[in-house]
Amino acid sequence: MSGLDRKEDAVRRMLDLRHLPLPPGLAARAAARGGRVLRRRRAVRAVGWALLAAGTVAFCVWAALVEPWSAPSLWDR
């Protein structure tokens, strides 16, 4: 008997056992939890994009005011 046959036999034995009853309303609770998780992920993603946009705008404003790419003039030393 190969390893694959042993695994198949073990799975068949597990499937032949008596199944336990599921609690009532389990599907509704799982769907509600999934909805909450999706809403939370969507909110976190939106906040992340908003922070990224705000950081980009702040960097652009700072760079426009300070102009760090230009060399200092002789009079600024």
- Per the structure, the count of domains in the chain is 1
The one-digit pLDDT tens for each residue of the chain (77 residues) are 677 788 999 999 988 888 888 899 999 999 999 999 999 999 999 999 999 999 999 999 999 998 888 877 777 65
Could you identify the residue written with the tokens 């034995």? 13
DSSP string, 19-67: PPPPPTTHHHHHHHHHHHHHHHHHHHHHHHHHHHHHHHHHHHHHHHHH-
Residue 44 lies in a domain: yes
Residue 34 lies in a domain: yes
Residue 45 lies in a domain: yes
Confidence (pLDDT) at 18: 85
Residue 4 lies in a domain: no
Residue 10 lies in a domain: no
Residue 64 lies in a domain: yes
Question: Which H or E element spans position 17?
Answer: none
Residue 50 lies in a domain: yes
Boundaries of domain holding 59: 26-70
Residue 19 lies in a domain: no
| Closest by Cα among 35, 18, 39 to 27 | 35
Tokens of 77: 């030393």
